[in-house]
Amino acid sequence: MKMFSLFVMVGLCCTALAQTPAPAKGTAEEEVAKVQELWLNAEQHGDAATLDRILDDGFVGSDPGGNLLQKSDLVIAAPGSQPRGFLNQDLADTTVKAFGKTVVVFGKLVDSGNKTHQIRFSMVYVKRADQWKMVAAQLVPIVTQ
């Protein structure tokens, strides 16, 4: 009888383990927050290959001066890594909201050396072929009095 009870217990444990779901991937918000960090790092280090992967081919945006930008304006093939924009900027006050396969990120870029230089941004990501692609962005300088 003890042996039968042991087999039943082992069987129940194995059944429970087999039904345990695999760990889920991160939420859309978590995944895009990571991509947002990759974007800033790529911008800071002139990493054209990473920018090319993150930015959608149909990307459109505006820079802090109000100029319209396309992907080709941001992905500049240069020999070696050349530092580019947002060199001393850190992400701050970031809010990430998912709407199905679309995620909107709001936040600030704050100059780590001079906290008065800040840029408010909004960026839109869409999931295409299991990758989050930035499709739109708007960067606006925060004017302090």
Is 115 part of a structural domain of the chain?
Answer: yes
Is 12 part of a structural domain of the chain?
Answer: no
What pLDDT does 8 receive? 34
The DSSP string of 28-48 is: HHHHHHHHHHHHHHHHHHT-H
Whole-prediction pTM: 0.76
What pLDDT does 87 receive? 64
Is 1 part of a structural domain of the chain?
Answer: no
Q: How many domains does the chain have?
A: 1
29 neighbors 97 (Cβ within 8 angstroms):
yes
Distances in Å between the alpha carbon of 81 and those of 78, 87, 129, 132? Answer: 7, 13, 28, 23
What's the whole-number average pLDDT of the chain? 79
What pLDDT does 19 receive? 40
What pLDDT does 56 receive? 97
pLDDT (tens digit, 9 = 90+) per residue, 35-79? 999 998 888 888 889 999 999 999 999 998 999 999 988 887 555
Which CATH number fits the domain that encloses residue 36? 3.10.450.50
Show the tokens assigned to 41. Answer: 């790092």
More confident residue, 103 or 112: 103
Range of the domain at 33: 26-142
